[in-house]
Amino acid sequence: MSHPNWKRVVIKVGSALISPNQQGCSSHYLLSIAQFIVRCRANGTQVVLVSSGSVAAGAHLFPEQEKTNIAVKKAMAAAGQTEMIATWDRLFDFPSAQMLLTHADLRDRERYVSIRETIFSLLDNNILPIVNENDTVTTDKLKVGDNDNLSAMVASAAEADALIICSDIDGLYDKNPHEFDDAKMLKSVETIDQSIYDMAGGAVKGGVGTGGMRTKIEAAEKAVSHGIDTYIINGFTELSFNMLLAGENPGTHFKPHAKPMQENVHWMRHTSNAQGEVIVEGDFDASLAGDAEQLTSSEIIDVKGEFSVGDTILVRKEDGTKLVKAKSNYSSCLLNFIANQENDDFAHEFEEKTGPIISDQHIANLEKE
C-alpha cells in the first residue's frame, strides 16, 4: 500500500473542505491537499482531482434563497464552479483543466471512452484534471448525484491505483460519531457487505455535504472491484497526507479485490445503468446468460421500459433474480414485436439475420459476483 508504488491516484475533496462556511472558497484546508498533490507528482504519481464545492461556494451569492430550489442550486453551482476552479488553480504552478461530467456522459460507452482519452491526454501533458459533476445541466435522470460515486467512476476510467476520499471525518465508524459518542472507527475493511452499509448514515442535515458515508461506501465498492485501493481520510488535517506519503493508513482502508473485473465488465456493472429490463423464463440457464447468443426471443416473457439500440438493459427472471447487464442490439419496440410473435420460425429467422439481442462485447454477468 506504500505510496511510491502508485502510478495514478484520484483524490476526491468534499464541499466542507472547499467552502467550510459557505462564504465562497477558502484555501485554508486546500493548502495541505495541494501540497500532497504536488508531492505525489514529484514522486512520479499522476493525480486526478475530483472536487466538490461549487454549490457551497456559490451559495453566498444567493442570499435569502432556498438551496432546496433546484434551479437556484444549479445557479449556485454555475457561479461557485468558477471560483472553486480559480482557487485550486492559484495553488499550483502547473496547469489544471476543468472536466464537468454527468452520468449521461459516463454511461454512454462512446462518451466514456472519449472521457478516458481526455484524462490520459491531460495526464500525459502534466496537466491536473479537476473533475466535478456538471450540476448546471443535470436532472434526476442524468446525474450521478454525488461526487463520491463520481470519483469512483473517474478512478475506474483513469485506471487509478488508489482513490483517496478526503472528508470532514477521520474515516468510517461503526455508527455515525456525530450521533453516538461510543462510535468506533474501522481501520480496514476487507469485504463490503450489508453490515458495512448498515454502519453508514447520510450527510448531516443542513450541512454542506451531499452523500454522507453511504455514498462513500458505494464508491469504495465500485473502486475495490476494479482493484483500486480506497481510503476515506480526514482532509482537515495535514497529518493524513503525511501519513499517506509515508505509506501509512490515516483513515479507513478498503482492500482492493485480488482479481479485479475487466475494464469493460466493470463499466457495464458499475457505471452504466439499465434503461430497461428483459424478463426471461424461470428455467433460463443463468450460467449461460453471459453468453450473448443464449438470449433469444423465445426465452423472453416481457420487455419493460423504453430503450434504444445501444442502451444498457438488465436481463432478469420473473422472481427478480438479476442475471446480466448488457448492451442491447435491439430497441424495446423491436424486441417487444419479436418476442410477441406467435410464429417462432419468423422470430428465429429475424434474429439469424439481425444478430444476437444482446452484445457479447458489452456484458456483465451479475450472478457470478
Ligand X SMILES: N[C@@H](CCC(=O)OP(=O)(O)O)C(=O)O
Ligand Y SMILES: Nc1ncnc2c1ncn2[C@@H]1O[C@H](COP(=O)(O)OP(=O)(O)O)[C@@H](O)[C@H]1O
d(CA 213, CA 180): 15
Complex with ligand Y: residue 16 or 158, whichever CB lies closer: 16
d(CA 141, CA 255): 31
The answer to whether 87 and 25 have CB atoms below 8 angstroms apart is yes
Complex with ligand Y: residue 29 or 330, whichever CB lies closer: 29
The answer to whether 322 and 367 have CB atoms below 8 angstroms apart is yes
What sign has the CA pseudo-torsion 248, 251, 256, 262?
A: negative
The pattern of x and - marking residues 62 through 91 that bind ligand X according to CB under 6 A reads: ---------------x--------------
**Total Cβ atoms within 10 A of residue 106:** 22
Q: Is 52 marked within a binding site?
A: yes
d(CA 249, CA 242): 10
DSSP element (H, E) containing 156: helix 147-157
154 is in the binding site of which of ligand Y, ligand X, none (Cβ under 5 to 8 A by kind)? none
> How are beta strands 312-317 and 276-280 bridged, if at all?
parallel
Residue 211 engages ligand Y in binding (rule: CB under 6 A): yes
Report the residue from 24, 171, 211, 290 that binds ligand X according to the rule CB under 6 A.
Answer: 211
Complex with ligand Y: residue 60 or 116, whichever CB lies closer: 60
167 is in the binding site of which of ligand X, ligand Y, none (Cβ under 5 to 8 A by kind)? ligand Y
Tell me the sheet residues that pair with 280: 300, 317
Complex with ligand X: residue 12 or 266, whichever CB lies closer: 12
Residue 133 engages ligand X in binding (rule: CB under 6 A): yes
* In the complex, minimum distance from the CB of residue 145 to ligand Y, in angstroms, rounded to a whole number: 12
Spatial CB neighbours of 218, under 8 Å, sequence gap ≥ 6: 148, 149, 152
Q: Which of residues 36-75 bind ligand Y (CB under 6 A)?
A: 52
Among the residue ranges 62-70, 205-213, 237-245, 360-368, the one whose residues contact ligand Y (CB under 6 A): 205-213
Report the residue from 83, 105, 108, 135 that binds ligand X according to the rule CB under 6 A.
Answer: 135
Look at the block and give the residue holding cell 439500440. 309
Q: Is 214 marked within a binding site?
A: yes
d(CA 360, CA 369): 18
Report the residue from 102, 147, 332, 365 that binds ligand X according to the rule CB under 6 A.
Answer: 147
**Total Cβ atoms within 10 A of residue 143:** 17
DSSP state at residue 161: S
172 is in the binding site of which of ligand Y, ligand X, none (Cβ under 5 to 8 A by kind)? ligand Y
Q: Which three cell numbers stand for residue 349?
A: 429467422
DSSP element (H, E) containing 350: helix 344-354
The answer to whether 249 and 231 have CB atoms below 8 angstroms apart is yes
Report the residue from 45, 102, 132, 365 that binds ligand X according to the rule CB under 6 A.
Answer: 132
Residue 210 engages ligand Y in binding (rule: CB under 6 A): yes
d(CA 348, CA 354): 10
Q: Is 211 marked within a binding site?
A: yes
Residue 55 engages ligand X in binding (rule: CB under 6 A): yes
Q: Which three cell numbers stand for residue 196?
A: 458495512
Among the residue ranges 25-33, 46-54, 314-322, 344-352, the one whose residues contact ligand X (CB under 6 A): 46-54
Residue 167 engages ligand Y in binding (rule: CB under 6 A): yes
Complex with ligand Y: residue 250 or 290, whichever CB lies closer: 250
d(CA 125, CA 352): 48
Q: Is 359 marked within a binding site?
A: no
d(CA 272, CA 286): 21
* In the complex, minimum distance from the CB of residue 212 to ligand Y, in angstroms, rounded to a whole number: 4
Residue 224 engages ligand X in binding (rule: CB under 6 A): no
Binding site for ligand Y (CB under 6 A): 14-16, 52, 167-169, 172-173, 175-178, 199-201, 203-204, 207, 209-213
Residues that bind ligand X (CB under 6 A): 14-15, 52-56, 77, 132-133, 135, 146-147, 209-211
Binding residues: 12, 52, 135, 147, 167-168, 210-216
